Amino acid sequence: MHTVKNYTKPTYKIVGRYLSEIGKYLGQGKPITEALRGFPAYYLYCRNYKFPNEAELPWINHFAYKKLESLLKPDMNVLEFGSGGSTMFLKNKVKSIYSIEHDGEWFKEVVKNAGAHPGLTLNLHIPEKENNQDFPDLYKSVNGMYCDGFTFQNYAHAADHLPDGSIDLLIIDGRVRPACLIQTISKLKSGGILLFDNTERNSYQPFLEKYLKGWKSEKYQGVTVCHAFFSETSIYWKPSE
């Protein structure tokens, strides 16, 4: 599962896809400065492809990854929604990780790759069938595959028991991200860091504007770690009280 062996992608295919992504950005009126600056990284990611968990890198925008790397401290406590490359990347760089995943098969892969590691807690919360119950739309995944008819309510509430103000870094890169934001924003320390992936998606905008109003933020667009398509990742800092 999720392995690619002995494949080196031809340069012309890499450049062709890259130019296609640049064209999309131009068509959308997005700035392409970072996209152009990121070509060397893009080439390396695509030339000898690895999945993020194999490369032990977070599957986010390339420059957001480099910024995150500069922000990490060994005494940090991390809460993340969406296990995988980010988990592998962080496990030797921070004090603790409380990671929440929804996919049972993928969870087995992460457990196998991560091994027994102090400070790492991996949690599986698979979605539940709606069973004609009146679950709020907030718990229904609109961006994930194979999610129709399921609710992610337990997944979004999986960190409810953590004390408020106990997390230094919150990563939201899984399912029902607005619900996860609402439920866990209080867990983040004053001055803590929030990384929210794919902030280009229109469905997230009302929640980001409402719950993160007044937060310092940096937006990173263009080249994605271990991926041929461009994306956007934003990093926020919770205001000091």
Kindly state the tokens that stand for 139: 């718990």
Angle between helices 39-47 and 62-71 (to 10 degrees): 100
For residue 58, what pLDDT band results from cuts at 50, 70 and 90?
very high
> Does residue 205 lie in a domain region?
yes
What CATH number does residue 107 fall under?
3.40.50.150
pTM score > 0.95 for this model? no
User: What is the count of structural domains for the chain?
Assistant: 1
Instruction: For 64, list phi and psi in degrees, rounded to 5.
Output: -65, -40
Q: What is the DSSP string of 27-82?
A: HTT---HHHHHTHHHHHHHHHT---HHHHT--SSBHHHHHHHHHH--TT-EEEEES
> Does residue 54 lie in a domain region?
yes
For residue 117, what pLDDT band results from cuts at 50, 70 and 90?
confident
Q: What pLDDT is attached to residue 146?
A: 66
> Does residue 221 lie in a domain region?
yes
pLDDT in tens, 174-207: 999 999 999 999 999 999 999 999 999 999 999 9
> Does residue 33 lie in a domain region?
yes
- Does residue 6 carry a pLDDT above 70? no
Q: Please, which residues have CB within 8 angstroms of residue 107's CB and are 6 or more apart in sequence?
A: 83, 101, 122, 124
> Does residue 18 lie in a domain region?
yes
Specify the DSSP element, H or E, that contains 109. Answer: helix 104-114
Per the structure, the complete domain to which residue 220 belongs is given by: 11-237
More confident residue, 137 or 134: 137
> Does residue 70 lie in a domain region?
yes
> Does residue 30 lie in a domain region?
yes
> Does residue 1 lie in a domain region?
no
pLDDT in tens, 85-116: 999 999 999 999 999 999 999 999 999 999 88
